[in-house]
Structure 1
Amino acid sequence: MIKNVLIGIGGTGSRVIESVVHLCAAGLGPDKLHIFMIDPDQGNGNLTRTKSLIKRYTEVREKFQRTENNKSFKTEIIIPPGDAPFIWSIFDERDYTLSKYINYDNISQTRPEIADLANVLFTEKELTTSLNEGFRGHPSIGAVVMADPPMDEYPFKLLWDGIESLGKNDLRVFIVGSIFGGTGAAGFPTLGSRQLIKFNEKMHASLGSENSRVLLGGALVLPYFSFSVDTAKSADEPMFVTTSDFPIATKAALQYYDDKELGFDQYYFIGDSLAQKVGEFSTGSSTQENKPHYVEMVSALSSFDFFAQSGDNVSDGKKYFLASRENAEVTWNMLPLTRASKDLTDQRRNFKKAISNFTIFSYAYLTYGKKELGRNHRDVTIQPWYSENFKKDYKEESVIYNPRHTMNSDLYAAMDDYLNSFLFWISAIDDRDKVLLVDSGKMIKGAISNRKLDLIDPEENRGVVGQIIKGESKKLDFNAFRGNDGLLDAIIKNETITAGSKYLNIFYDAANRFNLRNLVNN
């Protein structure tokens, strides 16, 4: 039995997990995936966004009854039960400093030689700056405070639950974080040390000699974005980094990984030279909420590649995988989806299909689908697709036969919220220049925001739906989707699911068939 665990560290780690969740919603990823995150900056906007997203995903998956051909929300995302935390915030109280963590005032009196060593290793600012907003690009601080995590408590307990029943390499642990920042750069090698996870004897990971129940992999995200620095805002900050610091930090980190013998079995190095802007300067907290980026999606896909490897193909010795842009453009046909070159063409085709289907489903449902739900049953029955599915057996009081029944409202609310987040994510990745996956301008009016999107009405601009997916297409208009060509007219005969789930499945099925007809070289 294989157990998959994904750990995201710091701001980059949380944004990669955001991509993981959306890819799982589109039908990609393993069947089961345990997830938790590590970040001392509990108010971080990126962390908050991902935390809320995971909860929305699990809620939708619980309420949405999918038909056999609907692969969306396939992955069961597992987080600690009940109110147990799935984020390790490291510190138990506010305004924690490194000085307080190492009990600097006390050792100055009792062990002055140790205090002198601390003064050599750390500056006064590093010792006294509050760490509630992370480690501010100083991984040496983070490495000190993250060296002894509470392995027998949640969220780490999620990692070890049931480990006694697992065999060699059955516990697949994948860690992701940036190589150039603070929290990720500190936590990645710290958790990757040989004794902390890979050969942890206390938690029964080690099987003796060089054998372990844990197969440890990780994605080191190299510099890939930029941000503007407001000198007025940064003037009052005691410690912060800018994008000009990234190359130096990266070079030093790579030298470290080359020299040290850590516990990782497989490394993924993922970077980009576009240096696209993902937001404004922020040291942390709620103001640090960056736009999604395609490198985060590629990093998420690297975890899927890691989890997908069969036990028979796992060999001893280190493996290194590198991904970077092959040319100036990011297209469907250049994404690095697998280590197996013979499978790459099929995987790219499947990836495009999954993302395209979920994008068209999200867009069509949030516009036309919701509008039709807002009308009364009698008025909508003139539509062939609706009449075939809901007119014959319609019962006002039945949640099985009435898509507007109040018991279906919770499903729609959860799905509306999630699909809006997905369209924000996939649209924000579109830079309208080099990243040629979707055309956000065909879906969204004005600025792309994590809040409610202002979507273009496909009935008023019928041609947009056939051009949302970038690349060669037949540019079919909304008449092809709505039913004039039979795409939305599929009859779902299943009396075990609610009318709300049936309604959503109709739109997902139509999106699938629309893309099969519209996209070239699927």
Structure 2
Amino acid sequence: MSKLYVFGIGGTGARVLKSLVMLLSAGVDCGVDTIVPIIIDRDISNKDLSRTKLLIEDYVAVNKLNRANDTNKFFKTKISLLSGGLYLQLRDNAQKFADFIGKSTMNDENKALVEMLFSNKTLDLDMTEGFQGNPNIGSVVLNQFDESDVFVKFANDFKDGDKIFIISSIFGGTGASGFPLLRRILKTPNVKDGKGNTLPNWGLINDAPIGALSVLPYFIVGQANEESLVNSDTFIDKARAALSYYKTEDKKIDTLYYIADRHTTTYEHHRGGESQRNDAHFIELAGALAILDFVNPLKSEINFNRENNIIQHTTYKEFAIIKGGREIIFDQLADETKKLIINPLTRFLLFAKYMGYSVIEKDIDGNRKKVVERIDSFDIFKKEQKYQPYAKKFTGEFRQLDSIKKLESVQKKFVEWLLEMENQEHSFKPFNLMSPNCNDFIKGDLSILKFKDFPYKNWARVDNELNRHIGKIDKSLNNEECFLELFYIALEKLVNY
């Protein structure tokens, strides 16, 4: 079984991984059997990371309902966690940068040198909330992550034929510093663990195909307070400096992807921790597509230019849309992207809507806001359970089964993900998320739904397909497995771009 190890560095790395999981949930084709996500972030309490972690945990549970076959693509690709963990945990417990470098134990000459290199604000930086946009600090602190238990497990787990992909931003602190360090370690021969032993399979890792995504500025943050070191005015300069350095990465990486957005969203400034929560953005979805492009077997001749397993030149790629403007719909995507995502996203959204997950407006703290909730009046599955023949297998406490609750949790998160991208300054808005119907929720002039010359209306069309196919499902599947497979087969018949 082929595996892709995806290192998500910093908050952007976690958010791109989240978009990848959403795409895999919806059944977007993936060129490997298993994704192994590994997140590298000093600020392990940040909300972006914890939201990705919860989503992955739900996905892993639902993936067990999809037996290895080509019929059902929902949750088809396996996601495996090394030692059951997602984070590459650093060993030190130092909170302040000054403590990490041992300033208090230095002689006067070394203290003077450190004070010349770093400001007092930098030395007093609380690193439990990340590197606050300082790649120079990250380069020092992250230089130890090859000793992490997860990193050692990665070496033990690696097999011939596996691939590696790295996600990072280059305008902050963690990603900008972590990417070159990680790439260097992965290509360094005979790397040793904390006990001085050479890590296993390291020769395979040195020679493995390796891709990377460098995310340039696509958002800015509001005005910082006096205690913060993050300044959006420096994002472009940091990105330019990183790009200058990345010229040296030629022939060290097989394929390097770049992406950015001039229509930047402004996020409220936070130092990190629980308050560090950015809404999903189309840039992150496109970043996830870079991962899928890297392992696409039809792209191997483009993505891998090697002779005798030596990289001859690096392939550089960028992502673009056909038309500009503040709102992106399916019509504005290139044909290749349309063919990859339209059917899966539409089918999975239709599935979620059938289960009652809808976007509604509510008054929250005196403001009118759009939120995602399961609404009884829109819950077609609940309303039709008594009347539709297919539903006889899924009555009683069926929705209280843990695996089905996990499935519905992903469905709710999926609709929230779409809503968050819709609310961005540069919005991805291909659906009418507030529509309660099954036949008018897709924007643009696209022939997707196969409803021509059909006698039934609205959700009765979906019910009809479910009833038609329930008898064709593999009898060896249990009810939960049957449920997932049935909905994929029915929606595949209804939705076909």
Instruction: Give the % identical residues.
Output: 25
- Report the Cα offset of residue 207 of structure 1: 5.0
Match in the other structure for 2:9: 9
Q: Is the 8 A contact 1:437 1:469 kept in 2?
A: no
Q: Is the 8 A contact 1:466 1:473 kept in 2?
A: no
Task: In structure 2, give the amino acid aligned to 1:495.
Answer: K
1:269 aligns to what SS in structure 2?
A: strand
- Report the Cα offset of residue 272 of structure 1: 1.1
Match in the other structure for 2:360: none
Task: In structure 2, give the amino acid aligned to 1:130.
Answer: D
Range moving further from structure 2, 493-502 or 292-301: 493-502
Task: In structure 1, give the amino acid aligned to 2:430.
Answer: V
Quote the Cα distance in structure 1 between the aligned partners of 2:340 and 2:300: 23
- Establish whether residue 366 from structure 1 lines up as the match of residue 366 from structure 2: no
Task: In structure 1, give the amino acid aligned to 2:189.
Answer: N
Quote the Cα distance in structure 2 between the aligned partners of 1:265 and 1:380: 52
Q: Label 1:513 to 1:434 Cα distance change in 2 as closer, same or farther (>3 A).
A: farther
Residue deviations 1:225-278, cap 9 Å, x none?
23433xxxx434242223x2211111121122225678433211111111124x
Range moving further from structure 2, 473-482 or 502-511: 473-482
Out of 314, 317, 330, the position equivalent to 1:318 is: 314
- Structure 2: gaps spanning 5 or more residues: 192-198, 306-310, 358-375
Residue deviations 1:422-453, cap 9 Å, x none?
111122212488545423xx334xxxxxxxxx
Q: Is the 8 A contact 1:408 1:499 kept in 2?
A: no
- Establish whether residue 56 from structure 1 lines up as the match of residue 63 from structure 2: no
- Establish whether residue 96 from structure 1 lines up as the match of residue 95 from structure 2: yes
Aligned positions of 1:100-499 closer than 5 A: 100-107=99-106, 109=107, 112-151=108-147, 153-163=148-158, 165-166=159-160, 170-193=161-184, 196-202=185-191, 203=199, 207=203, 212-229=206-223, 234-242=224-232, 244-259=233-248, 263-277=252-266, 279-309=267-297, 314-315=304-305, 316=311, 317-329=313-325, 330-332=328-330, 335=333, 345=335, 348-367=338-357, 371=379, 374=382, 380-382=385-387, 386-387=388-389, 389-390=390-391, 401-405=393-397, 409-431=401-423, 435-439=427-431, 442-444=432-434, 458=436, 462=437, 465-473=438-446, 479-483=457-461, 486-493=464-471, 494-499=474-479
Match in the other structure for 1:340: none
Q: Label 1:206 to 1:365 Cα distance change in 2 as closer, same or farther (>3 A).
A: same
Count of paired positions: 453
- Report the Cα offset of residue 100 of structure 1: 0.9
Match in the other structure for 1:25: 25
Q: Label 1:259 to 1:406 Cα distance change in 2 as closer, same or farther (>3 A).
A: closer
- Report the Cα offset of residue 14 of structure 1: 0.4
Task: In structure 1, give the amino acid aligned to 2:207.
Answer: R
Q: Label 1:484 to 1:304 Cα distance change in 2 as closer, same or farther (>3 A).
A: closer
Quote the Cα distance in structure 2 between the aligned partners of 1:511 and 1:373: 14
Q: Label 1:189 to 1:470 Cα distance change in 2 as closer, same or farther (>3 A).
A: same
Task: In structure 2, give the amino acid aligned to 1:188.
Answer: F
Range moving further from structure 2, 501-510 or 180-189: 501-510
Quote the Cα distance in structure 2 between the aligned partners of 1:484 and 1:10: 41
Q: Label 1:159 to 1:334 Cα distance change in 2 as closer, same or farther (>3 A).
A: farther
Q: Is the 8 A contact 1:390 1:402 kept in 2?
A: yes
- Report the Cα offset of residue 127 of structure 1: 1.2
Range moving further from structure 2, 68-77 or 312-321: 312-321
Task: In structure 2, give the amino acid aligned to 1:430.
Answer: E
Residue deviations 1:291-314, cap 9 Å, x none?
000000111110111122476662
Quote the Cα distance in structure 1 between the aligned partners of 2:477 and 2:162: 35
1:291 aligns to what SS in structure 2?
A: coil
Range moving further from structure 2, 260-269 or 44-53: 260-269
- Structure 1: gaps spanning 5 or more residues: 337-344, 392-400, 445-455, 517-521
TM-score (norm 1): 0.78
- Report the Cα offset of residue 27 of structure 1: 1.4
Quote the Cα distance in structure 1 between the aligned partners of 2:321 and 2:66: 37
1:483 aligns to what SS in structure 2?
A: helix
Residue deviations 1:280-337, cap 9 Å, x none?
211111111110000001111101111224766621222211224453143435547x
Quote the Cα distance in structure 2 between the aligned partners of 1:145 and 1:69: 47
- Report the Cα offset of residue 65 of structure 1: 6.0
Quote the Cα distance in structure 2 between the aligned partners of 1:326 and 1:418: 30
Q: Is the 8 A contact 1:365 1:507 kept in 2?
A: no
Q: Is the 8 A contact 1:40 1:88 kept in 2?
A: no
- Report the Cα offset of residue 218 of structure 1: 0.7
Q: Is the 8 A contact 2:83 2:150 kept in 1?
A: no
Quote the Cα distance in structure 1 between the aligned partners of 2:110 and 2:209: 37
Quote the Cα distance in structure 1 between the aligned partners of 2:300 and 2:245: 30
Q: Label 1:114 to 1:370 Cα distance change in 2 as closer, same or farther (>3 A).
A: same
Task: In structure 2, give the amino acid aligned to 1:184.
Answer: G
Quote the Cα distance in structure 1 between the aligned partners of 2:164 and 2:283: 20
- Report the Cα offset of residue 495 of structure 1: 2.6
Range moving further from structure 2, 57-66 or 7-16: 57-66
Task: In structure 1, give the amino acid aligned to 2:156.
Answer: D
Q: Label 1:484 to 1:204 Cα distance change in 2 as closer, same or farther (>3 A).
A: closer
Match in the other structure for 1:447: none
**CA RMSD between the two structures:** 3.1
1:200 aligns to what SS in structure 2?
A: coil
